[in-house]
Structure 1
Amino acid sequence: MRACDVMDPARAAALQVALGLTPDITSGSALPPFFHQLYFWTPVPPEQLGRDGHPGRGASGLIPDLGLPRRMWAGGRLRFERPLLAGQEAEKRSCVEHAGRKQGRTGPLGFVTLRHEIWQAGALSVQEWHDLVYREDPDPSAAKPAPPQARADEEVARCVQFSSTLLFRYSALTFNGHRIHYDQDYARDVEGYAGLVVHGPLLAQQLMLLAEDLMGPLAEFSFRATAPLMHFEEASLCCNGTDLWVRAPDGRQCMQASAIPASAVLAGAAG
């Protein structure tokens, strides 16, 4: 599947504002890592949406129908080959690298790995592997599995908050219709969450910005969601060396990640 988009600088600047950053992206600016999530929308008509607001099973024409209703972004891996430039056309090439089902501790699970390549000016700019998990509706009577506890040996920690307004803005800018991020009744009554769920990609975006701030331009970044974070919880973005994670107020780990700075790749090539 292929999609083209002009990387509108106004959209990127709007995300900077939403994140509390200075909106300094203009045409020709290098986009921060992961800002390509703002582009390449694939809208489908209302009648093709599922109950959760995402395209219904099989409606996208890319992701197979695994017969399970709940969708979650489980993690991803990225390689940054060269900066994407705002205001210039780019092409996204996507395919399914893996899809299948297996039996988990809490019931059947579906796994899909998408591979994306983003090309600009005839050159490969970003490679991305996008891991999705599908599962059944929660059993209200079943005990919830204990989430992993986060490390407490960070060298750097930054506190961040995720208001319902920020979640709405991020959903709008990424054209993400999943109702767990803006419909509290649905999130609570249907999917069993305590509140609105902070987007996994939004947590990853914050960790990537922290990594770039501490390490300089990134060559690679990988992340895995390990527990949901609610919109009313203040989180800590933590870093120790090239390891990063998100810690909730009760100490649970919501995401773990690893970064490879471009400087390390260059040093390895030179050595």
Structure 2
Amino acid sequence: MQDAAQTDQRQTDVMDPARAQALVVALGRADQIGAGDALPPFFHQIYFWDAQPPAQLGRDGHPRVGGLIPDMGLPRRMWAGGALEFLAPLRAGRQAEKVTRVEKTARKDGRTGPLGFVTLRHEIWQDGALCVSETQDLVYREDPDPSAPRPTPPSARDDATQVQDVSFDSTLLFRYSALTFNGHRIHYDLDYAKDVEGYQGLVVHGPLLAQLLMLMAQDAAPVQRFAFRATAPLMHFESAQFCRNGGDMWVRGPDGRQCMQATVA
């Protein structure tokens, strides 16, 4: 690993309560969010859009690398995981600032070829207070080799004390992509997801899985810290079980594979 140049990207946005309420509805929840209310954990993902013109997008729909994120010559991007600390509530209807920097980068050789790793540090400030401190881990990979065997995903634990069954479809993935302004085509372009990136269907967003785990935890007690790592993709046509045992949480796919693991406090 190597430290990256400390160049900050700063964005401001108003925490529009209507946008937060749209996410609540898309997730099938009954919460009501109005001006002045505390936003649920991780809802800052639907703000601070990085809107780029078409000419500044890569083939996958993400903003081209080479600006804040260095170009490692690897075309496939995955949000591999992250860690969050919620220090103060973000309030709907008020302006906030997001400060982002590249914390470290590295390029390594993995079992499936070269891999590029980028860790971003995000801070969300509102009314002069640091509300959210977050690290975001990105992985960049080569295009898949159709002749190579698919990697074997880890098996999920079977000792959950709390389980929620959740189903997904292309409508939910589209709405979440729209609310987060995420142009990654693996979430809405089925031909691209299958023919270019080698998936069996549309890929459920990693942060959407993390969001649902956080809301599951928040329903029991306020979330102060949350860390997660994606371990296997989940497709739009699949259902999943969201599981918890103490501070450990995970997402189990329909075949028993572990799609995400997390810890909460």
Which TM-score applies when normalising by structure 1? 0.94
Question: What residue number does 2:58 align with?
Answer: 50
From 39, 43, 52, the counterpart of 1:35 = 43
- For the pair 1:107 / 2:75, whether they are aligned, the reply is no
Question: What residue number does 1:82 align with?
Answer: 88
Give how far 1:69 is off: 0.1
Please identify runs of 4+ aligned residues in structure 1 that moved more than 3 A: none
Question: What residue number does 1:250 align with?
Answer: 255
- For the pair 1:199 / 2:239, whether they are aligned, the reply is no
2:55 match: secondary structure: helix
- For the pair 1:232 / 2:240, whether they are aligned, the reply is no
Contact 1:14/1:23 (<8 A) preserved: no
Give the AA of the match of 2:135.
W
Give how far 1:23 is off: 4.5
Q: Distance in 1 between matches of 2:65 and 2:247?
A: 37
Q: Distance in 1 between matches of 2:204 and 2:23?
A: 15
Q: Distance in 2 between matches of 1:217 and 1:166?
A: 26
Give how far 1:251 is off: 0.2
Question: What residue number does 1:213 align with?
Answer: 219
RMSD: 0.6
Question: What residue number does 1:259 align with?
Answer: 264
Give the AA of the match of 1:80.
F
- For the pair 1:16 / 2:24, whether they are aligned, the reply is yes
The count of corresponding residues between Structure 1 and Structure 2 is 257
From 122, 133, 138, the counterpart of 2:139 = 133
1:167 match: secondary structure: helix
Give the AA of the match of 2:223.
L
Identity of aligned residues (%): 71
From 173, 187, 202, the counterpart of 2:193 = 187
CA deviations 1:191-224 (Å, max 9, x no partner) are 000000000000000000011112x111100000
Query: Could you say which structure has the higher helix fraction?
Result: 1
CA deviations 1:6-28 (Å, max 9, x no partner) are 00000000000000012400000
Question: What residue number does 2:98 align with?
Answer: 92
Unaligned runs of 5+ in 2: 1-8
Question: What residue number does 2:12 align with?
Answer: 4
Give how far 1:64 is off: 0.9
1:218 match: secondary structure: coil
Contact 1:71/1:134 (<8 A) preserved: yes
Give how far 1:230 is off: 0.2
Unaligned runs of 5+ in 1: 261-271
Give the AA of the match of 2:70.
P
Q: Distance in 2 between matches of 1:188 and 1:165?
A: 18
